[in-house]
Copies of this chain bind each other. A is one copy, B any other.
C-alpha cells in the first residue's frame, strides 16, 4: 500500500481535496482514474486516504509524464466534473522528490 517508488529524483503530485455531498459516480470515476493512471507512461505508483480531507499522492518519472496524464482526454473530463460537482475545494502541488527513506518491521 506504500508505493514502491524508485530512488529519487522522481516527481510527486499531491492532490488535497474537500468533497461536496454530491456523489453521482464519484467512486466509480475515482477508481477508473486510478486504473487509467496505471496505464500511463512514467506512472510510478500512488497513495490515497480520506477522512474529512482527502489526500491522493501520485508518483511520476518526470514532468512530461505528469503533463501527459493531466491532458489525457478521459482525465480532463473527470477533472471538469470534479470542479462542477464533486469538489468544494482542492489544491494540486507538483513536487520534485529529492530524498526518501523508510522503515518496515521485520517479524
Contact = CB atoms under 8 A, between A and B. Distances in A.
Interface in A73-107: 83, 87-105
Name the interface size band of chain A: 35 or more
Interface stretch (A24-32, A34-42, A47-55): A47-55
B47 A16 contact: yes
Most chain B CB within a 10 A radius of its CB, from A1, A5, A91, A97: A91
Copies in the complex: 2
Contacts of A103: 83, 87, 89-91
B14 A91 contact: no
Contact of A94 (B20, B57, B100, B104): B100
B51 A55 contact: no
